[in-house]
Amino acid sequence: MELNLLKQLGPCVWEIPMRGKMRVPGMIYASKELVQAMDHKVYEQAVNVAMLPGIVGASCVMPDAHWGYGFPIGGVAAFDADAGGVVSAGGVGFDVSCGVRCLHTGLRRAHIMAVQHALVEALFAHIPAGLGSTGAIRLNSAQMDAMLSGGAKWAVERGWGTSADLERVEEQGQMLHAKPKYVSEQAKKRQREEMGTLGSGNHYLEVQEVTAVFDDAIASAYGLHLGDVVLMIHCGSRGLGHQIGTEFLRRMVEAAPSHGLILPDRELACAPIHSDLGQEYLGAMRAAINCALANRQILTQLVREVFAKVLPTAHLQVLYDVSHNTCKLETHQVDGHRRELYVHRKGATRAWGPGHPELPPALRTSGQPVLIGGSMGTGSYVLAGTSASESLAFSSACHGAGRAMSRHQALKTWNGRTVIDELAQRGILVRSPSMRGVAEEAPDAYKDVNAVVDAADAAGLARKVARLVPLVCVKG
């Protein structure tokens, strides 16, 4: 991206000045190096989002941003329904409520290394992963609708976990006002056998060691200490969420003229929030959020079953579970006034600051855990939401390293078997049903997660708390 298009406001804060049909400016939170490495398409998409009706504040771009469908991945935008605001399926993304769950294990590195090979094989055998993967759970129509309404709470009620898990999950594990009736039969069919599966792409399950602590007080509040072993699960709403995104994008494109919408880009298909179509999408999207929450809850219990056999002294407790492809109705301070806004976060994580009432009491003083997944072998991070993030980007932060090259380019550059062998030499064991998938997700296909996290910290979006390095990885 060309720096001459931007106005620098701080070390990691850049403004895209309003021009043409932009209703608000754009804001990019990234270092100079990360901005320069961003595709120009990110700039174009941020500008286009700023043209949408009812947008408030700014069209925001996170430090891990790269171009996506309509919105940049790493894009945040908030809309006021009473000011003609819209909801965009492209502003949420296809993998609705893709997110990360982090679990304490009560173990140390030595425990894992003593059974490393047995553990990775057991996890790979017990956790269905890969394109089109199916699990042992089969849902009939009534069970499907109950899951889409109940989320992780539904899963816990059926024996997958405990009520204590729900205290550390966004929305306490259940997104209210979900409308399964607006989820098509095709979407439900695609999900019928996919509950409790990781899926493919950049989804994974990792056993990780805490190798650095940057804020002792917050880390202690989160229960994180140097040398601890934690586990991360990264997945979403699988085929159901993708089908919902595909169907509603098509409907929004077709309905745009009837709503008087002139789109700067067809991929920004949207509908007025107060329209029937807008409400139907929100109902279906909330159902997909519940699907993702239930999926991660079931996976948590499957992981506990593996650890009970391989490492019976482990005690897996949820640190936090947070999504990064959503649109949620939230109250934010804008120009001195509290306003109810529909906040789109596409490849961006909600990051409530200290004192926010929606945080569990044990976390409220420190701020929300922000879980940042790195690429295979590069490490991940736990950050903490800040008070400043409210005014910067509607309490949002980055969600991961962010791709530096396309999957097609990665396939031409790396061989999956070679990537696995190189990681094994570094003490990281990886198992995947797809060597192609491993090549597509090679560590160097992503931005430097350390640079991304440093930028988020420097901009004030979130505070660095701890760095996690993988020991065992199962990926889709």
Amino acid (one-letter) located at 190: R
Q: Residue 153 is inside which H or E element, if any?
A: helix 141-157
Helix or strand holding residue 321 (H, E) = strand 317-323
Asked if 476 and 416 count as a contact pair (C-beta separation under 8 A), the reply is no
Q: How many Å apart are CA 237 and CA 294, to the nearest integer?
A: 9
For residues 189 and 212, what is the distance between their CA atoms, to the nearest angstrom?
A: 44
Locate 99 and state its tokens.
């997110």
Catalytic residue among 177, 337, 399, 408: 399
Strand partners, 76: 60, 345
**Identity (one letter) of the amino acid at 53?**
P
Cβ atoms of residues 173 and 297 within 8 Å: yes
Task: State the Rg of the chain over Cα.
Answer: 21
> Which residues, in sequence order, are bridge partners of residue 210?
468
> Residue 224's Cα: distance from chain center in Å?
21
Judge whether 467 and 212 are in contact, CB under 8 Å. yes
Residue 239: both structure tokens together: 């085929």
Q: Report the alpha-carbon distance of residue 147 to residue 221 in Å, rounded.
A: 32
The helix/strand/coil state of 446 is strand
The question of whether 408 is a catalytic residue gets the answer no
Token digits of residue 228 = 């601890």
Q: Give alpha helix (H) positions in 184-275.
A: 185-191, 216-222, 238-255
Structure tokens at 199: 């899926």
DSSP string, 232-255: EEEE--HHHHHHHHHHHHHHHHHH
User: Measured between alpha carbons, how far is 79 from 339 in angstroms, rounded to an integer?
Assistant: 10
- Residue 300 to residue 296: CA distance in whole angstroms: 6
Task: Find all residues with CB under 8 Å of 106, minimum gap 6, and list them.
Answer: 313, 314, 315, 316, 317
User: Residue 406's closest CA among 68, 28, 63, 45?
Assistant: 68
Residues taking part in catalysis: 399
